[in-house]
Structure 1
Amino acid sequence: MKTDPADIPDPDRVPGAPHPRMTARVIGQDEAVRDFVEASRGGRLHHAWLLTGPRGIGKATLAWSIARWLLAGTDSDDLSVPGNAPAARRLAALSEPNLQLVRRPWDDKANRLRAEITVEEIRRLLSFFHLSAAEGGRRIAIIDTADDMNTAAANALLKVLEEPPRDGLILMIAHQPARLLPTIRSRCRTLRLNPLKPDLMTEVLSDLGVDQDAVALAALSGGSVGEALRLAGQDGLKRYQQIVDLFATLPRMDRIAAARLAETAAGRANADGDPFDLTITLLDRFLTRTARAGLMGAPLPQAATGEGALLARLSPDDRAARDWAGAQARLSARARAGRAVNLDPAALVMDMLTELAHLPPAQSALPATG
């Protein structure tokens, strides 16, 4: 039975956030915007651009803003386009004939999104460039994300890049560009985007209607709007506070509180995310921030009440920092490997917490005094 297109989730949209094509402005990426605008105005518009940087910092928003700006024919310095411009309305409705979106397709047989961008999607891109060439005008393709291409798709795309279509522009989004073929990277001009600073994160999250602590979300998400939205949608700040409160009981960890945290990882994954993945991700963040505290002092801003004092106590020097960093790499990988073979998620988290409670820096940490 064929799935209704309205029921197919967008593989290129963060749960809880609008699709990037609906975002009217690019925030915090002024250098990348300026580089593209100057290249366009100077007649140096390369046929393929690789938009790189951590996940969730605005790469897709920038790609859609570039496409909207070029197709609308406006001349703004910041890629802004009036919302009532015909090209802007067509892009919002995914009805722009001069734009092709390449992303992971839906598998009707499996009733889920495919894990990869297949060669069939790149062949459709070839047809788009060839069939629309006779109509004239600029044609733009957005690939979100290039990391998702399988080997056959990557090889097919390479042929397009080797013989670029006239008046064609390809915008490729890549979270991990090192995974792409070197020959693909060498045929693209790179725009590197950076994580957003806390004040800009606050501005973006406010625009998106997030009423949680934007400063804490910025600290915990590493400047990624997409990650901040994921955390906000899954009560990530509340869960992280639970982790901080648990480790505050060291050197004798509260086993009841530990078991309660472990049980939260056993919930069923849904459209908002996977509770196990969230728990391990937050433990990773806690351990990373703890390790950094031993080298650079407790991080600012804090991501939870009492976090700064706790990290200073758990990780007072570089030796403790190395212990926490080693534990993060070792235990996180072990927990995720165990989950991959369907071991009990609560047991995996409890095992991780038990080992952390017996680390030398955890055992030597004195409880806070009032």
Structure 2
Amino acid sequence: MSDQQDAHVLEGALAPARNPKLFGHHAAEEFLARSYRSGKSHHAILIEGPQGIGKATLAFRFAHHVLSYPEPTDAPATLDDPDPASPISRQIASGASHNLLHLARPTDEKTGKVKSAITIDEVRRAGHFFSQTSGTGNWRIVIIDPADDLNRNAANAILKLLEEPPRRAMFLVLSHAPGKLLPTIRSRCQALKLSPLGDKDLSSALSFLGLPLDGGKTEEMVLGLSKGSVSQALKLLNYGGTEIIAAFDEVIASEGPKARKAMHRLADVLSGKDSEVIFGFFLDHLSDHLTGRARHAALAGDLHTADRQAKLVSDIAEKVATAQAYNLDRKQTILSILDSAR
């Protein structure tokens, strides 16, 4: 597996490039297989849906299918589980396939951390990739994972490739929030919407990863809080997500010195070493919490409170972005966020 793929994989998960199983998206698999077999498959497919539900795994499964059957008329009408021992699987898993390029946020060579965006330099790799002549005459497939991470220049560069795709080129464009993409990018793709996993499929996916749910309160909590996302479930189980939620609830419920102590305890955890994943989890949970407040107020007819809570979501996102851009002290940023959220 390439270093870039490894940098994006959660503890307990399998990189999509080497995951042989996909749960809960049979209709999408059938659509892709049949569309390809018909010879009328779109050159750019926008696979959209919440984070962690299997979009990237589906993209790599479909890429494996296409590269295994370069002539659409020879392809079966279903996507089978890839054989990890096959040459194509080994090449894809190691990032060594000459016919598949995975574009994701790169790792900063100096800091070893994943960068905040997919840059134009990454997209130039796609241009070079397509300029090379395939010795086998096979397809050339680019997986953009996710397109939400493209910065403005990179997005415009991808758009040019989508507008004039080379022969036998295919783009699998992933997005957690397609409404935020350039409308011109969306218009040049065929949309394929994936839904969050149902409880049964989520449980099966976790069992496959060696994390069977016990059928008790833990299962009820994980299924309820993960919202059909394997990545959210992994953050709850392997990254202390449940403890973060409990600590946040304590902050909200407490007053005076007790609240300040709870805020500092939570901020210490979220600003500690290697806390990027759990910090992101906290921000997602906080956004959901405030959005829920806004919705509840709106339903109660309190539009002033609803508007204030909705604005707070965007204000916090802006505050976090500013802190990251200027490398401000994270603990102080978190304390400020918690103050405003209370």
Bin for the TM-score computed over the shorter chain: 0.7 to 0.9
Please name the residue that 1:347 is paired with: 335
SS at match of 1:205: helix
Tell whether 2:30 aligns with 1:34: yes
SS at match of 1:132: coil
CA offset at residue 171 of structure 1?
0.9
- Output the CA distance in 2 between the equivalents of 1:58 and 1:6: 19
CA offset at residue 228 of structure 1?
2.0
Q: Is the 8 A contact 2:247 2:266 kept in 1?
A: no
Q: Is the 8 A contact 1:338 1:348 kept in 2?
A: no
Normalised to the residue count of structure 2, the TM-score between the two structures is: 0.80
Q: Determine which of 264, 267, 274 is the counterpart of 2:266.
A: 264
Q: Which whole-Å deviations, capped at 9, do the CAs of 1:177-225 have from their partners, x for residues lacking one?
A: 2333222222211111111122221111121223563432232122221
Q: Is the 8 A contact 2:22 2:57 kept in 1?
A: yes
CA 16–270 in structure 1, closer or farther in 2 if over 3 Å, else same: farther
CA offset at residue 140 of structure 1?
1.4
Q: Is the 8 A contact 1:158 1:184 kept in 2?
A: yes
CA 258–9 in structure 1, closer or farther in 2 if over 3 Å, else same: farther
- Output the CA distance in 2 between the equivalents of 1:39 and 1:152: 32
Please name the residue that 1:22 is paired with: 18
CA offset at residue 245 of structure 1?
6.1
- Output the CA distance in 2 between the equivalents of 1:9 and 1:44: 31
CA offset at residue 51 of structure 1?
0.9
Please name the residue that 1:305 is paired with: none
- Output the CA distance in 1 between the equivalents of 2:155 and 2:287: 32
Please name the residue that 1:282 is paired with: 285
Normalised to the residue count of structure 1, the TM-score between the two structures is: 0.75
SS at match of 1:171: strand
- Output the CA distance in 1 between the equivalents of 2:279 and 2:302: 25
Q: How do 1:123-272 and structure 2 match up within 5 A?
A: 123-211=124-212, 213-244=218-249, 253=255, 256=258, 259-267=261-269, 268-272=271-275
Q: Which whole-Å deviations, capped at 9, do the CAs of 1:266-325 have from their partners, x for residues lacking one?
A: 333444536555444434444555676x6xxxxxxxxxxxxxxxxxxxx9x942887885
Please name the residue that 2:81 is paired with: 80
- Output the CA distance in 1 between the equivalents of 2:19 and 2:315: 38
Please name the residue that 1:108 is paired with: 109
Q: CA RMSD in A?
A: 3.3
Tell whether 2:300 aligns with 1:319: yes
- Output the CA distance in 2 between the equivalents of 1:90 and 1:277: 32
CA 52–278 in structure 1, closer or farther in 2 if over 3 Å, else same: closer
Tell whether 2:59 aligns with 1:63: yes
CA offset at residue 64 of structure 1?
0.6
Q: Which has the higher helix share?
A: 2
Q: How many residues align?
A: 325
Q: Determine which of 34, 41, 48 is the counterpart of 1:45.
A: 41
- Output the CA distance in 1 between the equivalents of 2:248 and 2:116: 32
Unaligned runs of 5+ in 1: 295-314, 356-370
- Output the CA distance in 2 between the equivalents of 1:16 and 1:271: 16
CA 278–85 in structure 1, closer or farther in 2 if over 3 Å, else same: closer
Q: Which whole-Å deviations, capped at 9, do the CAs of 1:21-79 have from their partners, x for residues lacking one?
A: 12112211122212111201222111111111111111111111111122223636244
| Amino acid aligned to 2:300 | R
| Amino acid aligned to 2:66 | L
- Output the CA distance in 2 between the equivalents of 1:9 and 1:25: 17
- Output the CA distance in 1 between the equivalents of 2:39 and 2:211: 40
